[in-house]
Amino acid sequence: MPVRRTVLLVDDDALVRLALAEALGDLGFEVIEAQSAADALDYLPGLHDLDVLITDILMPGLDGWTLSEKVRESRPDLPVVYITGFFGDNARPVPGAQLIHKPFTVRAIARVLGGLLC
């Protein structure tokens, strides 16, 4: 039986978060949802088996870039996937991270996760 991977999904848009959480669940992932970067940081100490962080970039308060930098302070090897509808040039992803532009397909996110978690 394959090991079930755990994803921390962070997006302030409830509809996007719900749809993506359902799709990830269908792909076999255990999904922990957070509606903000601050909530994600609160959950982090209890997520010992976290396999990947998926975060929106533009959110109120802390943005996804800052969230991933803070997460990487304690978990430097944690894979990060940024999801965004913004096409600006202010990118500052953590090393080894992936960026997916909205809208994206379930196949696209599955391909990215497969590459990061192989």
Taking alpha carbons only, the member of 17, 19, 6 closest to residue 78 is 6
- Domains in the chain, please, with CATH? 6-116 (3.40.50.2300)
The residue whose two tokens read 């991933």 is: 68
Tens digit of each residue's pLDDT (9 = 90 or more) over 68-84: 999 999 999 999 999 98
pLDDT, one tens digit per residue, over 40-78 is 999 999 999 999 999 999 999 999 999 999 999 999 999
How far is Cα 24 from Cα 109, in angstroms, rounded to an integer? Answer: 9
Q: What is the C-alpha separation between 1 and 113, in angstroms, rounded? A: 19
